[in-house]
């Protein structure tokens, strides 16, 4: 059975008063979203990754991936107007009708391996 990791990262950083969206803020030398994807990849490298971002942030993410040499393969999907809409868009991008889908907030990189295993 296929397994997917849907990373929803649609924040703007406004509540943090940050100059960039929090998914792109640096944590230990690289953007937070990269840490989150790495955590799931370390759990299961066979996961198919889907990153959901606002349309105007997709090109920024692509630039960051090149800049930081980020090599975990993933599909990029434009999010919706709400979290629900973003999750919906991400789910609709999955071509298979059967599988397991992790849905996770892209700015929460500290999820434990034990929690992922329980899920």
Which has more confidence, 3 or 19? Answer: 3
Give the C-alpha separation, 23 to 51, whole Å.
11
Instruction: Enter the pTM of the model.
Output: 0.92
Sign of the CA dihedral running 6, 10, 16, 18: positive
Give the C-alpha separation, 85 to 96, whole Å.
20
**Tens-digit pLDDT profile for residues 46-97:** 999 999 999 999 999 999 999 999 999 999 999 999 999 999 999 999 987 8
Region at 28 (left for phi over 0; alpha for psi -120 to 50; beta for the rest): left
pLDDT for position 17? 72
**Tens-digit pLDDT profile for residues 102-113:** 999 999 999 999
Q: Of 94, 71, 73, 105, which Cα lies nearest the Cα of 1?
A: 94
Give the C-alpha separation, 27 to 34, whole Å.
9
**Tens-digit pLDDT profile for residues 9-41:** 986 666 767 778 899 999 999 999 999 999 999
pLDDT for position 19? 77
């Amino acid at each position: 059975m296929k397994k997917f990791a849907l990373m929803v990262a649609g924040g703007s950083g406004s509540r943090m008063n940050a100059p960039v969206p929090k998914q792109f803020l640096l944590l230990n030398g690289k953007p937070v979203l990269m840490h989150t994807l790495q955590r799931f990849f370390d759990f299961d490298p066979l996961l198919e990754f889907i990153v959901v971002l606002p349309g105007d942030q997709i090109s920024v993410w692509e630039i960051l991936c090149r800049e930081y040499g980020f090599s975990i393969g993933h599909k990029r999907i434009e999010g919706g107007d709400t979290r629900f809409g973003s999750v919906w868009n991400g789910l609709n991008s999955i071509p298979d009708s059967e599988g397991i889908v992790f849905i996770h907030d892209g700015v929460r990189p500290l999820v434990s391996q034990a929690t992922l295993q329980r899920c």
